[in-house]
């Protein structure tokens, strides 16, 4: 059964033959191994060109900011999986990455798309950024939705990672329309939503990356790549001193059963 376009299928990422491997027009062995750092290589793989120094530095800053945040749900899932299947690092890594959705870590994509939508609205005839921000927030409030990129359950007075990333963007001259949009959201949202809503790291990352030229369609790749590094650290530690079953046991103790009682055995 044919589904979708079948003719003229191509990839521009890589090819190989018996003697060489070509990546985005570069010979892997001659041009890249030992000659390019991994962040540059990541940018090249995704976008087909090497980043500028500024683009590399922004990407590095964002990757470092989101790589690790303790025993978050994705980490717990990974560690408990490895405890149950010590030979299956790939399964444990998958367990952790599969849990990165719209609430934890993967929320950078949601925030980025929200910023892009507001910026598109602000460019319409007669519109401006503040009006577009207020309209988007009013719509969220009417739907009782959360504001992507703002608020944090632990860092309620301000996410220190976001503050450092935004200061970095200013210092390096990368702050553009996406950062301006995020800051407008951070300024207006508490007034509209009637509660404190500081900018969080999942808002700062897409703002910086968008202004640096990273596509919104690949935004989720930034936290996925970063958290993969953090998961490797947790899985290595899990293999040396396991806490996976401790996490499971603590959950069992913390959560009470409130289902129906077992029926008495018939006399």
What is the extent of the structural domain holding 122? 107-218
In this structure, the answer to whether residues 132 and 213 fall within a common structural domain is yes
CATH code for the domain of 123? 1.10.230.10
In this structure, the answer to whether residues 114 and 207 fall within a common structural domain is yes
The reported pLDDT for the residue numbered 119 is: 98
In this structure, the answer to whether residues 114 and 211 fall within a common structural domain is yes
Q: Considering the domain boundaries, does residue 78 fall inside one? A: no
In this structure, the answer to whether residues 112 and 40 fall within a common structural domain is no
Answer whether 207's CB lies under 8 Å from 182's CB: yes
The reported pLDDT for the residue numbered 106 is: 72
Q: What is the dihedral of CA 128, 198, 228, 74, to 10 degrees?
A: -120
In this structure, the answer to whether residues 131 and 42 fall within a common structural domain is no
The reported pLDDT for the residue numbered 155 is: 61
β-strand partners of 27: 22
Q: Considering the domain boundaries, does residue 114 fall inside one? A: yes
In this structure, the answer to whether residues 43 and 146 fall within a common structural domain is no
Q: Considering the domain boundaries, does residue 226 fall inside one? A: no
Q: Considering the domain boundaries, does residue 80 fall inside one? A: no
Exposure string for 234-249, b = 16+ CB within 10 A, e = fewer: bbeebeeeebbeebee
What pTM was estimated for this model as a whole? 0.92
Domain boundary among 186, 201, 218: 218
The reported pLDDT for the residue numbered 213 is: 98
The reported pLDDT for the residue numbered 8 is: 76
Spans of the chain below 50 pLDDT: none
């Amino acid at each position: 059964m044919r589904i979708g376009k079948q003719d003229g299928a191509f990839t521009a990422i890589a090819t190989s033959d018996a003697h060489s491997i070509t990546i985005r027009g570069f010979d892997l062995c001659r041009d890249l191994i030992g000659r390019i750092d991994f962040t540059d290589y990541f940018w090249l793989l995704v976008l087909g060109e090497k980043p500028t120094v500024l683009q590399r530095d922004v990407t590095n800053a964002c990757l470092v900011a989101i790589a690790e945040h303790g025993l978050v749900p994705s980490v717990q899932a990974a560690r408990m999986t490895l405890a149950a299947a010590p030979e299956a690092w790939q399964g444990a890594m998958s367990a952790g990455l599969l849990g990165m959705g719209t609430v934890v870590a993967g929320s950078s994509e949601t925030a980025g798309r929200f910023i892009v939508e507001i910026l598109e609205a602000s460019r319409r005839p007669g519109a401006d950024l503040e009006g577009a921000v207020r309209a988007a927030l009013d719509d969220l409030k009417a739907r009782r939705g959360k504001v992507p990129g703002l608020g944090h359950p632990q860092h309620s007075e301000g996410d220190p990672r976001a503050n450092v990333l935004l200061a970095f963007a200013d210092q390096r001259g990368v702050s553009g329309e996406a950062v301006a949009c995020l800051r407008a959201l951070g300024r207006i949202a508490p007034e509209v939503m009637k509660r404190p809503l500081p900018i969080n790291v999942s808002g700062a990352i897409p703002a910086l990356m968008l202004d640096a030229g990273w596509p919104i369609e690949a935004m989720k790749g930034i936290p996925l790549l970063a958290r993969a590094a953090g998961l490797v650290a947790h899985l290595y530690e899990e293999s040396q001193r396991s806490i996976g079953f401790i996490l499971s046991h603590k959950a069992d103790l913390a959560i009470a059963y409130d289902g129906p009682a077992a029926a008495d055995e018939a006399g």
